[in-house]
Amino acid sequence: MIVGDRVNAIEAEIKNREANTGMNIGMKIVDVKEKDGNVEYDYEYTVDYGEAGSIKIRGTIIGRDEPKETLESWKKDKKLSKEDTERLVNLINYLGSVHGTLVARVLSYRPPLVPPRLSVQQKKE
């Protein structure tokens, strides 16, 4: 269960205001650790506007999950369960869209809105 979140850093860069390029959004879970009996998921949300500029948001999601199982899985191969990954990716997408929209407005860029829910599937080989 998610009990909180916080933004740790925001970086924004304007490279070329006249560039009218697309927008690529990236999300990743950077680290997982235990603190005060909770599990903290550090994440990074990036919006690349190509030649126009970029936005990077780093934050932490705080969960009351089973720390032992979650941390063992993360330490073993830097992976989380499918359910945890889906839940976190959707929350990172939401938080990044909310915070990123405010930053994009200041920079006069399109807001980084990605409305559909995301799901994780097994990699097909």
Q: What's the pLDDT tens digit per position in 71-81?
A: 888 999 999 98
pLDDT digits (tens, 9 = 90+) for 62-116: 998 777 888 888 999 999 988 889 999 999 999 999 999 999 999 989 899 866 6
State the pLDDT at residue 31: 96
Q: Which residues contact 60 (CB under 8 A, 6 or more apart)?
A: 5, 6, 8, 40, 41, 42, 43
Residue 115: per-residue pLDDT: 63
pLDDT score, position 11: 97
* Token pair recorded at residue 114: 């990605």
Q: What are phi and psi of 68, to 5 degrees?
A: -60, -50
Q: Is 86 helix (H, G, I), strand (E, B) or coil?
A: helix
Domain annotation for the chain: domains and CATH numbers: 2-107 (3.10.420.10)
pTM of the model: 0.85
Mean pLDDT score across all residues of the chain: 89
